Structure 1
């Protein structure tokens, strides 16, 4: 007899990388990783982990490369997308990406603007693909995370589907 209950499928495997200067002062990521984990899990993603690292180019590069080699479908970085000299997340992400998805990055900025966060357009965050992994930079404020993920999640599901379909 066929099952009439809901099928359990997941949107993909994800990893969260929180990038913060707070580690220098002995603090964590302010709950950013937990919030992203919650939002991704609610959307059907299996979150393999959440790591918090210092805003250091080498540490960011290692975290991104490890995630890509590990085969996760989506990496969401949180923080380090601004204009200060220590905000290097987009610079390092650009080195790791094979292809950028500028429209998705722009959509993240505009979703912030639509929510009334006028400094959202200052974010230099990138979104793109490295191998078969989608990588997205999201600003570190709780508002940016909520607005950004509301925009990113449906787009990420579509990109992941395309990357995993050998027919496309």
Structure 2
């Protein structure tokens, strides 16, 4: 996947939301992994938070960040499984204007190469909400690496060809 070295790199302002009933900031390895990759890629960590597995709470945080002009993109980690407490995809759907089904499909395809059929338990998803991208990844560090390294690193790089999410940002709210 080619990077056009002649094109300008545009840093994306990314908020990271860890969804967990059991982790705090000191124990948030998947969030730490994501933050490190964001910085290494040259992007800006706009905000970071941990929130419990509560759909209304997740939706409220997403709305606040969607409305923040200093945030271009939100990446969540956790809450994408199939248990009763896993509600991140439902929260994402509540704020979404347009779902991006190819994100979850590609994530599961990449994940299958590493964990086999266990990938069917992931409900990783993505959307656009009022001009802000939201990507929901599972909570394991391996899943965060798969999602960032395999998809987001290139799609959030303005130099990636033939196309990328960054070049679409100015047109996300067009009607």
Q: Tell me the residue number matched to 1:91.
A: 90
Kindly tell me: are residues 105 and 161 of structure 1, through their superposed partners in 2, closer, same or farther at Cα, counting changes over 3 Å?
same
Provide the rounded CA distance (Å) in 2 between the counterparts of 1:165 and 1:99: 13
CA RMSD in angstroms comes to 2.3
With the length of structure 1 as denominator, give the TM-score of the two structures. Answer: 0.85
Q: Tell me the residue number matched to 1:12.
A: 12
Q: Once the 2 structures are TM-superposed, how far is the Cα of residue 143 of structure 1 from its aligned partner?
A: 0.5
**More off after superposition, 38-47 vs 132-141:** 38-47
**3-state SS of paired residue (1:83):** coil
**More off after superposition, 78-87 vs 7-16:** 7-16
**3-state SS of paired residue (2:165):** helix
Gapped runs of 5+ residues in structure 2?
1-5, 158-163
Q: Tell me the residue number matched to 2:43.
A: 45
Q: Once the 2 structures are TM-superposed, how far is the Cα of residue 28 of structure 1 from its aligned partner?
A: 5.6
**3-state SS of paired residue (1:162):** helix
Gapped runs of 5+ residues in structure 1?
1-5
Any runs of at least 4 consecutive aligned residues in structure 1 with deviations exceeding 6 A, and if so which? none
Q: Provide Cα deviations, 1:46-88, integer angstroms capped at 9, x if missing partner.
A: 0112100111111100111111001311100100000001100
Q: Once the 2 structures are TM-superposed, how far is the Cα of residue 104 of structure 1 from its aligned partner?
A: 1.4
1:161 aligned onto 2:167: yes
**What count of residue pairs does the alignment treat as equivalent?**
160
Provide the rounded CA distance (Å) in 1 between the counterparts of 2:12 and 2:28: 25
Provide the rounded CA distance (Å) in 1 between the counterparts of 2:85 and 2:117: 22
Provide the rounded CA distance (Å) in 2 between the counterparts of 1:163 and 1:93: 19
Bigger RCO of structures 1 and 2 (CA < 8 A, at least 6 apart):
2
Map 1:25-64; keep pairs closer than 5 Å.
29-64=27-62
